[in-house]
Amino acid sequence: MFPTHVTLVDVGPRDGLQNESQLIPSADKIELVRRLQAAGLTEIEVTSFVSPKWVPQMADNAEVMAGIQRQAGVRYSVLTPNMKGFEGALAARADEVVIFAAASEAFSQRNINCSIAESIARFRPVADAARAQGMKVRAAVSCALGCPYQGEVSPDAVEDVVQRLLDIGAQHIGIADTIGVGTAGRVKTVMERALRHVPLAELSGHFHDTYGQALTNIYASLSLGIHTFDTSVAGLGGCPYAKGATGNVATEDVVYLLHGLGLHTGIDLDRLVDAGAFISGVLGRQPASRVSRALLAKRQPH
């Protein structure tokens, strides 16, 4: 049942960096994107066109998008919460927009200041406009495995939001464990529910690694044939509206797992480690990726 090729979407420049309090120079964000594509990533989530009052770190969205050197075969995506965000994404020539709903009412309010139903109504014109422009529409379902404010989130609630996002024209669904609380059995249940509506090729997992479960959750998803995952180089990040949640699972750790299983990713692990070391250096810390730390230690002369 395992797929032979797995696509990783590096969300580090967006999900990873959005949570940093120190302002990161746009040039470093651009350099990170360059290094990720040089390592073989074919999908990169570059930035968000959200309110700069809500997420100041993403205020340089247009500058970053203008600065990246696009490589053929690479898809550059951005988050768009509403039409204002979409207009920014269009002007910046994003290939793909990401709309982001939650399976929890409480999180929807905190993250985007509206109910789930209101958010879907706001996303509909975004999805219509994006598709009319030939841009792909990806949708994330936050808190699919648990919510920092309301706790338990039922698979029914996830399935309902998945269906609503498809109804308004989402072409891809990402099941997001925003706070990394999910374990493999529950992940399988939620993915199986999503697969009732979404084709295998258009379903992905987005696992934050707060409780150290992300690799296992990816393994569980792979066993269902799911072959697209969001990951974050160096394990950067977290969500500003999910306190204490750590970054997405590190791209390096996932590549190591996948290559160990004999699955293809098209990613060069050494160059990826370089990209992670670069951005960690900018942030003045060690990469959170265990694989990256191990490989960097091996490079040191004895």
Catalogue the active-site residues.
239
**How wide is the angle at C-alpha 239 spanned by C-alphas 252 and 117, nearest 5°?**
125
Contact 139, 101 (CB under 8 A): yes
CA distance linking residue 118 with residue 250, whole number of Å:
33
CA distance linking residue 115 with residue 124, whole number of Å:
14
Rounded to a whole number of angstroms, the minimum distance from the CB of residue 18 to Mg ion is 9
Looking at the Cβ atoms of 113 and 133, the one nearer to Mg ion is 113
Q: Does 45 bind Mg ion (CB under 5 A)?
A: no
Rounded to a whole number of angstroms, the minimum distance from the CB of residue 268 to ligand HMG is 26
Which of 140, 158, 233, 249 binds ligand HMG (CB under 6 A)? It is 140
Q: Does 115 bind ligand HMG (CB under 6 A)?
A: no
CA distance linking residue 42 with residue 54, whole number of Å:
29
DSSP state for residue 113 in the 8-state scheme: S
Which of 7, 14, 15, 226 binds Mg ion (CB under 5 A)? It is 15
Give the C-alpha distances (Å, rounded to integers) separating 110 from 121, 142, 247, 256: 17, 12, 19, 35
Looking at the Cβ atoms of 60 and 269, the one nearer to ligand HMG is 60
Q: Does 175 bind ligand HMG (CB under 6 A)?
A: no
Looking at the Cβ atoms of 79 and 92, the one nearer to ligand HMG is 79
Q: Does 202 bind Mg ion (CB under 5 A)?
A: no
Looking at the Cβ atoms of 137 and 296, the one nearer to ligand HMG is 137
CA atoms within 13 A on the CB side of 93: 8
Is 211 exposed, middle or buried (CB count within 10 Å of its CB: 0-12, 13-18, 19+)? middle
Instruction: Considering only the stretches 45-53, 123-131, 214-222, 274-282, report the one whose residues sit in contact with ligand HMG under the rule CB under 6 A.
Output: 45-53
Looking at the Cβ atoms of 15 and 202, the one nearer to Mg ion is 15
Q: Does 55 bind ligand HMG (CB under 6 A)?
A: yes
CA distance linking residue 145 with residue 185, whole number of Å:
11
CA distance linking residue 143 with residue 232, whole number of Å:
18
Question: What are the residues binding Mg ion (CB under 5 A)?
Answer: 15
Question: What are the residues binding ligand HMG (CB under 6 A)?
Answer: 15, 18, 48-51, 54-55, 79, 81-82, 84-85, 100, 111-113, 140, 142, 176, 178, 206, 208, 239-241
